């Protein structure tokens, strides 16, 4: 539900910033310099093939080192009727899809 794959990786790519700082002791805990460098490069890389390789390597590093595991993942569901058109769910939970929704009824 994020518009880019890097939206799923900030905890691992920037362990000293934002919410990740809580998990990784403000950068004093787990970190991987290769992963952080790849993350920074992938954020600005417009070449799909090399970007895919960068993200793949990031995933391998995360799987190998398993710095933390989420035990709970809150899911957000929205149910709509078939006549509700152009509705989409945003990961922000602010419901921006309501701006473009229309009824085919």
Same domain, 44 and 21: yes
The answer to whether residue 10 is domain-embedded is yes
d(CA 96, CA 88): 8
Residues of the chain with pLDDT below 50 are none
Same domain, 11 and 57: yes
Domain interval for residue 98:
75-105
Instruction: Look up residue 85 and give its two tokens.
Output: 């058109």
The pLDDT of residue 73? 66
Same domain, 85 and 58: no
Please say whether the beta carbons of 46 and 13 come within 8 A: no
Same domain, 54 and 83: no
Please say whether the beta carbons of 47 and 54 come within 8 A: no
Same domain, 11 and 61: yes
Q: Give which of 86, 1, 14, 73 is closest to 43, Cα–Cα.
A: 14
Same domain, 95 and 47: no
Sequence-separated (6 or more) residues with CB below 8 Å from residue 15: 21, 23, 24, 27, 29, 30, 31, 36, 67
Instruction: Look up residue 71 and give its two tokens.
Output: 């035990």
């Amino acid at each position: 539900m994020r518009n880019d794959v890097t939206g799923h990786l900030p905890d691992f790519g920037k362990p000293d910033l934002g919410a990740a700082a809580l998990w990784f002791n403000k950068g004093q805990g787990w970190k991987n310099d290769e992963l952080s460098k790849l993350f920074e490069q992938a954020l600005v890389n417009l070449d799909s093939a090399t970007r895919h390789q960068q993200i793949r390597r990031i995933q391998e590093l995360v799987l190998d080192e398993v710095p933390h595991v989420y035990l709970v993942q809150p899911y957000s569901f929205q149910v709509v009727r078939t006549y509700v058109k152009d509705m989409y769910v945003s990961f922000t939970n602010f419901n921006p899809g309501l701006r473009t929704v229309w009824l085919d009824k």
